[in-house]
C-alpha cells in the first residue's frame, strides 16, 4: 500500500475563524481523509511538531509527501528542506498544493521564483483536462468546476512542465497552468493549484480524485538506484584506455 504523509502548516485553522469554520480539524485532515478513502496509508505532520513532523524515519517511510503551506514558508527549517530534497531526488514523490508554490522546497526544486498573479474574490474556477492520457487525469472526464476559489493567473514563473495535465479558467478571464508534472532525480513532482483556505475545495470529489491519482503516479517506479563509485577497471572486457 502506498504510504502518504500529508503536511500542512496548521496555523490559520487555529487562529482565523473563517478558516476554522471551513476546516475545523485542519486542512491536512481534509486532505488525509480523501486519501484514506481512496485506499492509501496516510499519516499527517504539521509545522509546529518537532522537525515539523518530518524526521528522517518518517520520510524514509513515506512514498509520497503532500505539501500545503501559506503564511509560514520562512519558518520551515533549511535542514528539513534539505532532508526532503534528498528524499525527492532518491525517489519520494512530492505533491505541492495551492500556495505551496512559494514553499522553500518547491522553489528549490524548480530553481525559479514560482511567482504568479492572484486575487481573492471567490470566483468560479473551471479545471480543464488537457492531457487525458496522463494517469492523473483518470476518471476526470473533460474536467470539473469549483464554484468559488482564489484566482491564480499567469505568468506562473516555473519551468515548462514535463507534462501539463490541467489548466484553469476563472470567471474573471484569467487562465493558469494548474496541474504540472515534473521529475527531479528519481522523484516525481506534481503541482496542483486549488485549495485556498477559506473554500472547501479539499472536500470536492474532483479535487480529491486528482490528489489520489497524483499520489499513485508520484509513487510510481523510479527505477534502480544508480551506482556511482570509482571504477578502476573498464566496464567491458577488452576495453583500452586512450
Residue 114 pLDDT greater than 80, yes or no: yes
Q: Nearest 5°: phi and psi at 113?
A: -70, -25
pLDDT band (50, 70, 90) for residue 236: confident
27-86 per-position pLDDT tens digit: 999 999 999 999 999 999 999 999 999 999 999 999 999 999 999 999 999 999 999 999
Q: Name the burial class of residue 86, with classes exposed (0-12), middle (13-18) and buried (19+) by CB atoms within 10 angstroms of its CB.
A: middle
Residue 90 pLDDT greater than 60, yes or no: yes
Could you tell me the residue ranges of all domains in the chain? 3-110+178-218
Find all residues with CB under 8 Å of 68, minimum gap 6, and list them.
7, 8, 9, 27, 28, 31, 97, 98, 99, 100, 195
pLDDT band (50, 70, 90) for residue 206: very high
Query: How many C-beta atoms lie closer than 10 Å to residue 20's C-beta?
Result: 15
pLDDT > 70: percent of the chain: 97
CB 109 within 8 A of CB 189: yes
The predicted structure's pLDDT at residue 10: 96
CA dist 127 and 92 (Å) reads: 27
Written as nine digits, the cell of 102 is 512559494
Model pTM?
A: 0.94
Q: Which of 208, 192, 179 is nearest to 38 (CA)?
A: 208
Written as nine digits, the cell of 157 is 514563473
Find all residues with CB under 8 Å of 43, minimum gap 6, and list them.
3, 4, 5, 6, 58, 62
Residue 242 pLDDT greater than 70, yes or no: no
Residue 238 pLDDT greater than 80, yes or no: no
The secondary structure of 79-142, three-state, reads HHHHHHHHHHHCCCEEEEEHHHHHCHHHHHHHCCCCCCEEEEEEEEEEEEECCCCCHHHCCCCC
Region 3-110+178-218: CATH code: 3.40.50.880
User: Quick one: which H or E segment has residue 217?
Assistant: helix 205-218
CA dist 145 and 61 (Å) reads: 35
CB 96 within 8 A of CB 64: no
Which residues lie across from 169 on neighbouring strands?
126, 175
CB 171 within 8 A of CB 124: yes
Q: What is the mean pLDDT of residues 220-226?
A: 77
149-169 per-position pLDDT tens digit: 999 999 999 999 999 999 999
Amino acid at each position: 500500500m502506498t504510504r502518504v504523509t500529508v503536511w500542512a502548516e496548521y496555523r490559520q485553522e487555529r487562529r482565523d475563524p473563517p478558516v476554522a469554520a471551513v476546516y475545523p480539524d485542519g486542512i491536512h485532515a481534509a486532505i488525509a481523509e480523501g486519501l484514506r478513502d481512496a485506499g492509501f496509508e496516510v499519516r499527517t505532520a504539521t509545522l509546529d511538531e518537532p522537525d515539523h513532523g518530518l524526521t528522517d524515519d518518517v520520510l524514509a517511510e513515506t512514498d509520497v509527501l503532500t505539501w500545503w503551506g501559506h503564511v509560514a514558508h520562512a519558518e520551515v527549517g533549511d535542514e528539513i528542506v534539505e532532508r526532503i530534497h534528498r528524499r525527492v531526488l532518491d525517489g519520494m514523490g512530492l505533491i505541492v498544493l495551492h500556495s505551496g508554490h512559494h514553499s522553500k522546497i518547491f522553489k528549490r526544486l524548480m530553481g525559479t521564483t514560482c511567482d504568479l498573479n492572484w486575487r481573492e474574490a471567490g470566483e468560479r474556477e473551471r479545471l480543464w483536462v488537457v492531457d487525458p492520457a496522463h494517469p492523473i487525469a483518470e476518471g476526470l472526464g473533460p474536467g470539473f468546476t469549483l464554484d468559488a476559489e482564489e484566482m491564480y493567473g499567469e505568468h506562473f514563473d516555473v519551468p515548462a512542465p514535463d507534462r501539463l495535465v490541467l489548466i484553469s479558467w476563472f470567471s474573471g478571464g484569467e487562465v493558469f497552468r494548474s496541474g504540472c508534472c515534473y521529475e527531479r532525480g528519481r522523484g516525481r513532482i506534481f503541482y496542483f493549484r486549488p485549495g485556498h483556505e477559506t473554500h472547501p475545495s479539499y472536500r470536492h470529489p474532483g479535487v480529491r480524485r486528482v490528489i489520489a491519482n497524483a499520489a499513485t503516479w508520484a509513487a510510481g517506479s523510479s527505477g534502480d538506484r544508480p551506482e556511482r563509485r570509482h571504477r578502476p577497471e573498464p566496464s567491458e572486457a577488452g576495453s583500452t584506455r586512450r
